[in-house]
Structure formats: C-alpha cells, structure tokens
Amino acid sequence: MKGRPLFVFTVCWLCGSGMACAMTGWTLLWGMVGALSCLPFLLRWIGMRGWAIVVFIVALIGGAGHWEWNEARNVSNLPEITNIAAADLDGYSATLHGILDSDVRVDGDRADFQIQMNSIEASSDAQSGTASGVLRVAQTKERLMVHVRLAEEEEQQVAAGWRRGDAITLTGVLTLPGEARNFGGFDYRNYLKTQYIHWLFKVKGASSVTTVSPEGIGKFNILRWNDLIRSTLGSAVDRLFPEPHAGYMKGLIIGMASDIDPDTYGQFSQLGLTHILAISGTHVAVYVASLLLLLSWLRLTRETSLTIVLLLIPAYVLLSGGSPSVIRAGIMSMIGLYMARRGLARDGLQMISAAALMMMWWNPYFLLSVSFQLSFLVTAGLMIYMPLINRLFHGWPKAVAATASVTVTAQLISFPVTILYFNQFSLLSFVANFLLVSLISAIVLPLGTVALLLSFLWLPLAKPLAWVAILLNKVTFVSVEWMNSLPGFVLIWATPSLLWIAAYYAILYALLFLLHRGKGEIPQASNMEEDTAPLVRTHRGQGLQGAAQSGGLSERMDWDRQGKGQQVRSNDSGSMTTLSASIAWPEYTSAFTTQGAGYYTGERMNLFHKGMCGLLALLLIVGLVWAYRTPLPAGTGVVQFLDIGQGDSTLITTPGGKHILVDGGGTVSFGNQESWRIRRDPYEVGAKVVVPLLKKRGIHRLDAVILTHADQDHAGGLQAVLEQIPVERFMFNGTTSGKDNFEKLLDTAVERSIPLYAIQQGMSYAADEETVLHFISPDLDHSLDTGGRLPVSEHQNHDSVVFLLDMAGASLLFTGDMDAAAEQNLLYMIQDGSLAASFKQEPGSFSFPSVETSVDVLKVAHHGSKTSSTEAWLQYWHAKSAVISAGANNTYGHPNPGVLERLEAVGSQIYRTDQMGEVQMRIKDGQIDVRYKLSMDE
C-alpha cells in the first residue's frame, strides 16, 4: 500500500465518516481518540513514515469532520421560518409553491415526486390557530417528498404529464415521515434524511396540483430533457418486448428498475442476481469500448477519440439514472481515459480511491447507500482479492477460469454486505452467477441495446433481435425459478456486526494470501496488466522503485522478485481494443494479475504456513457459524409484540431456542378495489414487515405458527411467512372463513408439507423444558363436512385460539380477538371446573395447572375493542401487565377508552404498540424485563 497513498488516504477518510455516522457525542470523541492512537502504529506496519502518517491522520479527522458538518446543515428550517413547532406542523394544511425536482412516478392511484419548495402558506382549510400562531406566508428553500392520491383514472395521464423543472403549486397536508417502529425495522424518516428531505406533503387528487412549464435553459431543463429521453427509450422498449420482458429489459439496458415485475425481481434477489439489473461497470465498459471502436472506424486519432468519449461519459451516467454504481464506474472510466490521453500509467486502486473521495465530498450520505457499498467493495475486491484467487483455478480452461475467478471473488466480497442488508444468501448464488451473468452481459445486454437502437430506424429490423433476447430471457427466467424452487439452499442470516464484517475480510485475505504463496512461481504479468500496477512499489531490501518520471510514464523500471531491474515499455501505443479494455474496465484488467495488486510470488508453503492456513480456515468457519446462529442469550425467553399497524403478530423465542409466531398481521382492504388503483407492488405487511424482521433476527425456521383466527389482520401476513421461511407446524382453530386469501394460505401449507393442527380446548404444546402452551379455547367440533372440507365459521373472533403461555417461570395469556361472550363462557368453565378437567393427564404429557387469578402478562383481546375485555374477565385474571396491539391513528378508535379504564382499575401496566412501537419482554427465572421502540413523548 506504500505505492498507493491515495488509497490509504481514502480508507482513512471513509473510516472517519463511518465513525461519525455510527457514533455521537462522547462515544464519537472516545472512538476517535482510540482510532488516532492506533492509526500511527498501523500505518508504520504497512510501511508509512513521517509526514505521510500526519496526512492520513488528517484524513481520518477530515472524514469525521466533513460528516458532522454535513449533518449540522441537514435540518429542516420550516419550524424556524414559520414560527410553528414541528409537532404542530405535522398534519398542517398548507399550500406550497416550488419547482418539481424529480421525475414523476405514477403507480396505480398514487403519484410520487420531489419538489424544491420556494414558499409555504396556510391553505383555506388550515387550522385557525396553533400553539405558535397562524401560518401566513414564508419563503424557504427546502425539498419535500410529495404523495398525490389520484381520485380518477384519467388523472394518471395528467400526473404523467408533470415534468421535472415545472413551476408547481399544490395544496395538501404536511406530515412527518414515519420512523422505525420495530427494533431493526426500516426507518423511512432517516432514509429521506439522506436525501435531504424532512417532510412529506400529502395531496388528494390531481386537481389540487397546478404546473407551469419552465422557460429558458437551466439545470432543471437539462434534467428534464434527460427524463424525456429516458421515457422515450422506455416506450421503445415497451414496443419491442412484452411483459415481463419489457420491465426486465428496461432495468437491464437503461436502469429503470422500478418497472421490473416484482415477482421477477424477487426471484433474482433470492439468487443474488439483482446486480445484473443495476447499471454499473459492465455497462460503462461496453459503452466506452463501443464508442472507441466506432471512432476508430471513423479514422479519428487516438487522442481525439479519447477526448470525445471522456466528454460523453457524463451523458451516459445521466441517461442511465445516475445510481452510485454507475457514477463510480463513470468517474473511474473518465480518469482512465484522461490518463491514457496523457500517456500516464493507470492504477485501478488509485482510480477507485479518487472516485470514492469525489463522491463522498459531494454527498457524504453515499456511504449509506447499498449500491455505493457493493459497487466499491466488489470493484476493490476484484483488484485486491482476485489475483490471489486466480491461481486456485490453475489448469482450468482460460475462459472458464476467468469467469469462475470473477464469480467466486465477487460472491465472497459481496457476501457480508448481502447478509447485512438482505439477511439471506443462496448457496446456489455461485452457480447462478457463473452460468447466467455471462449469458446476460455478453449476449442479452448487447442484443437488447442494438435492438433498441435499431427500433428508432425501422421497428421490423429490430424485432428479430428482440425475439432472440426474449427467448434467452425465458431460459434465464426458467433457470432462476427452478433454482429457487430447490429446497434448503437459501440460508437466513441475522444482521452481523461491523466488527464481524471487518474480521471476515481480514481473515479471508490472510487465508487467500497464504494459499496463494503455496502455489509456486507465477509468470510475469503482461504489459497490458502493467498499466494497472502501482506507481511506486516496494521490494524487500530494494527501497523505492519505479517512481514516476516527469513527462509521463511511457517507459519505467520494474523489478522482479530477485531485485533485478528490467525495462518495460507501456502498451499505450497498442491496439484500440486493448486500450479500451484497460481504461473502461480497470477493476478487471488489474485483477487478473498479482503484480497489478502489488503481490510477490513464488514462495513454497512450509509447515508453518500450512498450519496458519488451517488455523485461518478454522477461524473463518467458526466466524460463519457464529454469525449464522440466532443472536439471543441462552436460557432467556423473549416475547416480541411486533408493531405491524392495525393487526396482531407476536414472536415467541423460548429459553431452549424454539421460535413460535402467533399471527402475522395483514393488510386489510375494504370492498373491491378498482383495477386502475392497484399498484405494481402493493404494500403487504407480511412481506414488507414481518418476514424482514424475522430474517433480521436470524429466525432460520419457525417451530410453530399459531393462527388465532382467520381474519385478514391476523392471517394475511402469514402467506409471505409460509412462502419464505420454513415452518414445522401450523396451528389454527380448525375452521375456515371461506375467503380466497385464507384458502390460499391453507393450500400453501399443504403444498409445503407443513402439518396442520386443529386446536381444541384441553390441548398442550411443550416447546421445550421451560415452555408449555395450554390451549383453553376454542371448544369446537372439528369434524369435516361431507365433502371433506373444513367447517366454515362466520364468528372467527368468538372462535379465536386462546392459550396460556407458561415460560421460564412467567405466565402470559394470549386471547386473539375473542369477544365478550367467549370470555364469559371461559369464566363459567373455570368456575365449574370443566376447563381444568379438559386437560387430561396422559403419560409423558403436561397437565393443565390450577388456574390462578393472576397472570404476569395479558395480551388484550381484539386490539382493545369495546367488544372484549369485560370487567369480570379482567378482574379474574388480574394481569400485572397488559399489551395492546393497535395501529397508530387507526380508524376504529382502538383501544377503547373504557377498556383502558378497566385495565387501570385492576392495576395493569399498559403497553401499546400504537404509542410505543414494538414491545419486547425478556423472561428469566420469573423476572420480566420490558423495553419498547418509541419513547412516550414521540
């Protein structure tokens, strides 16, 4: 690294920014003190001396300082300029004037876009006053996210006509973005903050929006034209390809990922193939190489060709959507073209470092982008790790070895980030990437691109190429679907710590380095590979060699491992094909050589090295096993009442490590929704909240799923759970609601060979030695009808599964949506002894204990509705704590004030998900520790 000062500087800068992002206050101060104490020793260990150490310390401090400076500026000024507190502005009706500052996405009955607000004033129906006064008119410059709920189908076309740069006036309601309501959940407020947005503006109907097209030429006009070109290209793709191919090809060719079919995207995501759908280095390399080839055909000079392509790269970056990955690739290619134009040597790690610094200086929040992280990590990883991996494929056919090396390196490098954000990894990802990436990148992408361009000349000429691409797409889709259908290959991982990720990369590098040394002598790198070698390299006992000479590096000294100097001429005067490959795709041209990454080769592995390899391999395996386990303290039971809006879902983890999910929430829709209102990827709480939370917590399989009853707000989310997470058993009340959604849920359980258990009063389920579930309701006849079908119950609330959880010395009563009549029936059965008698003691079974008139925790029935939780019921159980699962600002008025009064009357401590977010209880030796996500003053 001594020959790459910019690389070390960038790493220090990124570390400083990362520390400032992850820490605050005194924690950050002491963290910086610790880092600054260790940094000089680390830098000296890698060969840095003198002023270099000071510069890199400045880089660490500068990265942290730049982040903090940006954070201090990234605040909303609306409360200040309006003299109205943020809490009072939340829900305030207003009229905004500004400039439309993004493209407009129309999806079903909603249109979303961003605006740069110029002024705000109270709308005619605003509140007559607030704690701080009445808003009149205020001038400001602030970005807002706008959601327009379209009233009529015709308004879709109206919204589609809104363009970036339009002067816009709209009337609606200011709201604060939602924050994370579950531990580890998605924080929309923080996400928008990274886009410098602090407020949402919700508008009803396109009639509340007026726009005026801009005049003259400016920043917005350029972006407006770019949007128009992208839209034109997207329409051309729609003419060439049917769905789902059209959305897929739009993502592949022009980066319009929002139009990809959600099911197709999900299939690709499970196999780790979504990087194909992101415009990145591959696309930029093809673009640059194609332009250079075209210009060479036009007989332009080499220097002129390089200059023209350099100037055209920003246009391609804009046209492809400007994602972090394509910005990175664009900057690196421009640097490569400039250095080739000047006849300077090109170093891939120096180039990627320059790109990272430019992007971080422009917007520090790039650091939090998954696209930024994956793009830079994989690209740098190809340069650093792939030279070590190449020799592992020695003897393979050259083309196969190259593809295998790229695939293995990319998968190993991206693995920690994949499980950090997506919490799953398919073992078939290696195979899928090896087989499909080359097919898509080398054949489908060029075919689709050429077909798209030809369609503007003559559509029939482009159709044959599109037909071939469609055929290959079908092969891809079928292959992906088949691989995803194979059971047992998708592993769920809990979110790892950053320390674990750093250790993974360090151990992997050390292991590969030692294995690489044991492979023996490696031939000298080719001249083309030398273009990516470091400008200055160090050899043991030889000092600094190959320093850059004034006037360029057309000729420089290289040193072999014996220290003998030999003169090497650069290949800048070679063919345009070689040139375009090395400058358009620096991560690959540098990665295929050990010299390109600064390695020395040829030492055979001795016994010590073999022992170290074994130890490192063992450490790596132990680390992977450690990360894979569910991160919960042994011997402690945990009950997690998830906040899934207006619905119920509770995750129980027993002291023995068993996982039980009680209900899964669900998105409730009222009536038959008009087809035009349906969105491409409708919000569904099971897929968007429950399943991601289960994966983040490392739930590899559920030992039991208990559905208290078939209502949608309890059962709907379980469809996604059964589809994505292995389930050992499914327990329900033995009836069906007769609705299609519930029938589909049961069919899914049967298709996946999940045993179904109809719960009956008197049953018990022993999850482990410290955990027993005693089912006290329903008391139903579960006999099938004459057609062998489950009985239909129209009284699902009354027939809810009710059970007493006895775990780690504590008792919790779960009640589903049981109504007052069901509560009364159970009280009668308790009093006459018939309930206790229903728990028949059999050899090896758990008998129902004597029912005490006190439980530690009561899960309040039906979200705190007035139809449940009668005074007699609450007085009998006399719960120390009560948990109410209800949606914030729900339209039902849950929980009912009368229920809250009755709970307070019996002395229950009340926990509400609508006010506190997720509520967690940790139980050990009868002691219950409670924490919740949101503070009560929020």
Residues 608 and 688 in one domain: no
Query: What gap in Å lies between CA 726 and CA 701, rounded to an integer?
Result: 5
Torsion, Cα of 239, 241, 243, 249 (10° steps): -110
Cross-strand partners of 806: 772, 811
The partner residues of 804 in beta bridges, in order of sequence, read: 774, 813
Whether residue 577 sits in one domain with residue 536: yes
Between 630 and 771, residue with greater pLDDT: 771
Mean pLDDT, residues 601-629: 85
pLDDT band at 784, cuts 50/70/90?
low
pLDDT in tens, 647-681: 999 999 999 999 999 999 998 776 677 889 888 88
Boundary of a domain, candidates 197, 215, 233: 215
Q: Please tell me the distance from the alpha carbon of residue 433 to that of residue 415, in angstroms, as a whole number.
A: 13
CB 637 within 8 A of CB 771: yes
pLDDT average, residue stretch 610-637: 90
813-838 residue pLDDT tens: 999 999 999 999 999 998 888 887 77
pLDDT in tens, 330-376: 999 999 999 999 888 888 899 999 999 999 999 999 999 999 999 99
Same domain, 591 and 619: yes
In the chain, the number of structural domains is 4
Instruction: Based on the fold, state whether residues 768 and 893 are members of the same structural domain.
Output: yes
Task: Report the CATH number at residue 135.
Answer: 2.40.50.140
Instruction: Tell me the pLDDT band of 791, cut-offs 50, 70 and 90.
Output: confident
- pLDDT score of 434: 92
Alpha carbon distance 103, 228 (integer Å):
9
pLDDT at 661: 98
Q: Helices in 131-218 by DSSP H: which ranges? A: 155-160, 188-193
pLDDT number for residue 551 = 34
Cβ of 883: how many Cβ atoms within 10 Å? 26
For residues 148-175, average pLDDT: 95
Q: Looking at the domain assignment, is residue 287 inside a domain?
A: no
Judgement on whether residues 600 and 729 belong to the same structural domain of the protein: no
- Helix extents (H) in 103-187: 155-160
* Cβ atoms within 10 Å, residue 195: 14
562-572 pLDDT, tens digit per residue, is 334 444 434 44
Give the pairing of strands 105-107 and 704-706. Answer: unpaired
Q: Pick 639 or 133 by higher pLDDT.
A: 639
Q: How confident is the model at residue 790 (pLDDT cuts 50, 70, 90)?
A: confident
Residue 399 confidence (pLDDT): 85
Residue at 423: amino acid letter: N
**Mean predicted lDDT score pLDDT of the chain:** 85
| 262 confidence band (pLDDT: 50, 70, 90) | confident
Per-residue pLDDT tens over the stretch 728-761: 999 999 999 889 899 999 999 999 999 999 999 9
Place of tokens 């390299």: 537
**Which of 159, 189, 215 is where one domain is finished?**
215
Q: Average pLDDT of 163-187?
A: 94
780 with 886, same domain?
yes
Asked whether the predicted pLDDT for residue 132 surpasses 50, the reply is no
pLDDT recorded at residue 1: 57
Tell me the CA end-to-end span of the chain in Å, nearest whole number. 49
Of the pLDDT bands very low, low, confident and very high (cuts 50, 70, 90), residue 873 is: very high
**82, part of any domain:** yes
Q: Which amino acid is at 217?
A: I
What are the E-state strand segments in 683-724? 704-706
Question: Do 176 and 65 fall into the same domain?
Answer: no
Q: Residue 6 pLDDT more than 70?
A: yes
Domain co-membership, 800 together with 913: yes
Per-residue model confidence as pLDDT tens digits over 922-938: 999 999 999 999 986 55
The CATH number linked to 842 is 3.60.15.10
- Residue 548, in any domain of the structure: no
675 belongs to a structural domain: no
Residues 513, 381, 320: CA angle, nearest 5 degrees: 165
Res 562: pLDDT: 38
Q: DSSP labels for 706-741?
A: E-S---HHHHTTHHHHHHHS-BS-EEE-S-B---HH
**230 domain residue, yes or no:** no
pLDDT value, residue 849: 45
Model confidence band, residue 45 (pLDDT cutoffs 50, 70, 90): confident
Q: Is residue 430 in a domain?
A: no
Q: Of the residues 215, 232, 265, which one is the last residue of a structural domain?
A: 215
pLDDT of residue 146: 97
| Domain shared by 654 and 692, yes or no | yes
SS3 of 105-121: the string is EEECCEEEEEEEEEEEE
For residue 576, is pLDDT > 80? no
In a domain, 290, yes or no: no
Does one domain contain both 66 and 93? Answer: no
> CA–CA separation, 76 vs 773, rounded Å?
50
The answer to whether residues 784 and 926 belong to one domain is: yes
Structure letter (DSSP) for residue 138:
E
| CA–CA dist 382, 372 (Å, integer) | 15
* CA-derived radius of gyration, the chain: 31
Q: Which domain, by its residues, includes 521?
A: 321-419+495-540+557-626
Amino acid at position 60, single letter: L
Per residue in 417-459, pLDDT tens? 999 999 999 999 999 999 999 899 889 999 999 999 999 999 9
The model's pLDDT over 626-645, given as tens digits with 9 standing for 90+, comes to 999 888 777 899 999 999 99
Whether 584 and 688 map to the same domain: the answer is: no
In this predicted structure, which of 4-8, 236-240, 358-362, 432-436 has the lowest mean pLDDT?
A: 4-8
Structure tokens at 684: 């569904």
pLDDT (average), residues 9-18: 94
Position 577 pLDDT exceeds 60: no
User: What is the predicted pLDDT for the residue at 567?
Assistant: 41
The residue ranking higher by pLDDT, 646 or 841, is 646
pLDDT of residue 794: 87
Give pLDDT, residue 605: 64
Residue 864 lies in a domain: yes
